[in-house]
Structure 1
Amino acid sequence: MDEPDDEQQAVHFEIADELMTFLPATRRRARQRAACDGTSTLGHLVEALGVPLPEVGPLTIGGAPVEPSHRPAAGEVVRVPPVPRPQPVPLEPGQDAPRFLLDVHLGTLARRLRLLGLDTAYHNDMDDPALVVQANEERRVLLTQDRGLLRRRALWFGAYVRGSKPDDQLADLLDRFAPALRPWTRCTACNGELVTVGKDEIEQQVRAGTLRSYDVYGRCGDCGQVYWRGAHGGHLEEIVERAARTVAAATIA
């Protein structure tokens, strides 16, 4: 967006530091301005600056709250904060944690969320319109690093995933939503729920050496995948313990 030459005909925006990542590198400064045409809403102007509305907290002008549908007047100064953390998500009856849907680029994060017992849908071949439809129909929070996807008006609830590494992405999401965790209860492959099974029930699916070494097993009620605490158990335990600490700290804050 080009800035207007006449400051008196502009709307001014104070952008929070946490939202600077969404601005073009050459324009990452706290004070922004946009032409006041009398018809554009605050929501439109904020997104034209580069900030997706799902990442924006309560907008204010002169300390008074305003809706994204507000049409600003020339000279008004709009404060643009990030979403509050932890961010509440509307839950369906019987739910104790948000449900998630991840785009095609976040497969590792999807498996880690499932490890923590969070209901997490993921497809490696679904396009953007289909993602929005599933998120809306199943009331899932759509997680993505695609800013254009977050700007889709039809999307009921979305969130930008910060970080390039799975550890950082997971920490960001847990800090943002502070969901109730139920580790070791979901299949990391398909998201089905695990049920405890005895050795006699899975002896045809597991090698004899494994049966001799481990006593506790779970099986996915959907795909039948069998799980046990194997060689990677220590690493996974670290992920679970770190996640629990992150959620606890976010809840206290």
Structure 2
Amino acid sequence: MSFSATFLFHGPLNDFLAKSRKDALIDYLFERNPSVKDAIEALGVPHPEVAGVLINGKPVDFQYLLQTEDKVEVFPKTENALDFKANTLQPPLPETIKFVLDVHLGKLAKTLRMLGFDTVYQNDYADKVIAALAQNEDRIVLTRDINLLKIKTITWGYWLRSQHLEEQLTEVIRYFELEEKFAPFTRCLECNGLILPVEKQEVLNELPPNTRKYFQEFYLCENCRKVYWKGSHFERMQQFIQRFSLK
């Protein structure tokens, strides 16, 4: 025997729905009383982006078992219509913000490292590897793959709406409120290792002739040993960061 409940998704959660279902009541047919979390994800919305659920006007957790004729409203983190601070389904973010990115986001990984965020990325990470890194190291998952965010062990995550780097970075900064947490030029763009000051003499053999002649201040990745200095590339990166500090 089949039962029915109605769902209404608010705000950015509509990004996961087909056009005909956006901002509309959705009839959901079910059997054997699934959890509301399973129903939400069956309709296309991954659990890490859900901040609160009301059923028949009352807040519930993800384990609530759906009943026939339930009226379900699902709210994102950015929804202002209701205050879910006391009932939020999103656990507090880790004290130290760390990310793991899927295979489509190499440029974003380098940019987050430039801002100082601990960001792990490889272009061959399987979904199960990303999920394990997120769980074992308290990392936030950033992805363009909606199904990745539905893995039950993932606690924090965000599906990037844009495919363009600057728009992606703006999304992440705003969603996770990172504006006051930048620590630019403290991580290696290539490997995510920490960058530390180093004496010129220690890296002299690694420097191009003109760099050796005109620059005196150098930094070294403690992991991959890449050498950095404040050349024209540094000025361009500073200007890039400044743009995002003002957005």
Q: Please classify the TM superposition score into its range, dividing by the shorter chain length.
A: 0.7 to 0.9
Residue 190 of structure 2: aligned partner: 189
Q: Which deviations, in whole Å up to 9, do the C-alpha atoms of 1:33-63 show, x marking residues without a partner? A: 2125351111111111111111111111243
- Give the secondary-structure state (helix, strand or coil) at the position aligned to 1:73: coil
Task: State the alpha-carbon separation in 1 of the partners of residues 154 and 243 from structure 2.
Answer: 31
Task: State the alpha-carbon separation in 1 of the partners of residues 128 and 36 from structure 2.
Answer: 25
Matches within 5 A, 1:33-112: 33-84=27-78, 89-91=92-94, 96-112=95-111
Identity among equivalent pairs (%): 32
Point out where structure 1 has 5 or more consecutive residues left out of the alignment. Answer: 247-253
Is the CA contact 2:9–2:22 (under 8 Å) kept in the aligned structure 1?
A: no
Matches within 5 A, 1:131-146: 131-146=130-145
Residue 18 of structure 2: aligned partner: 24
Residue 226 of structure 2: aligned partner: 225
Matches within 5 A, 1:148-227: 148-179=147-178, 180-227=181-228
The Cα shift of 1:26 comes to 4.1
- 1:31 partner letter: L
Is the CA contact 1:135–1:155 (under 8 Å) kept in the aligned structure 2?
A: yes
Is the CA contact 2:55–2:71 (under 8 Å) kept in the aligned structure 1?
A: yes
Per the normalisation by structure 2, the TM-score is 0.87
Is the CA contact 2:217–2:229 (under 8 Å) kept in the aligned structure 1?
A: yes
Say how many residue pairs are matched.
234
Task: State the alpha-carbon separation in 1 of the partners of residues 176 and 92 from structure 2.
Answer: 8
Q: Which deviations, in whole Å up to 9, do the C-alpha atoms of 1:56-85 show, x marking residues without a partner? A: 111112432111111232222211111248
Runs of 4+ that moved beyond 4 A? none
Residue 251 of structure 1: aligned partner: none
Q: CA RMSD, aligned part only?
A: 2.0
Task: State the alpha-carbon separation in 1 of the partners of residues 216 and 186 from structure 2.
Answer: 17
Q: Which range moved further: 31-40 or 46-55?
A: 31-40
Residue 240 of structure 1: aligned partner: 241
The alpha-carbon distance between structure 1 residues 116 and 88, as it changes in their structure 2 partners (threshold 3 A), is farther
- Give the secondary-structure state (helix, strand or coil) at the position aligned to 1:109: helix
Q: Which range moved further: 151-160 or 132-141?
A: 151-160
Q: Which deviations, in whole Å up to 9, do the C-alpha atoms of 1:126-160 show, x marking residues without a partner? A: 21112211221111112111111111113233221
The Cα shift of 1:88 comes to 6.7
Per the normalisation by structure 1, the TM-score is 0.85
- Give the secondary-structure state (helix, strand or coil) at the position aligned to 2:141: strand
Task: State the alpha-carbon separation in 2 of the partners of residues 109 and 48 from structure 1.
Answer: 29
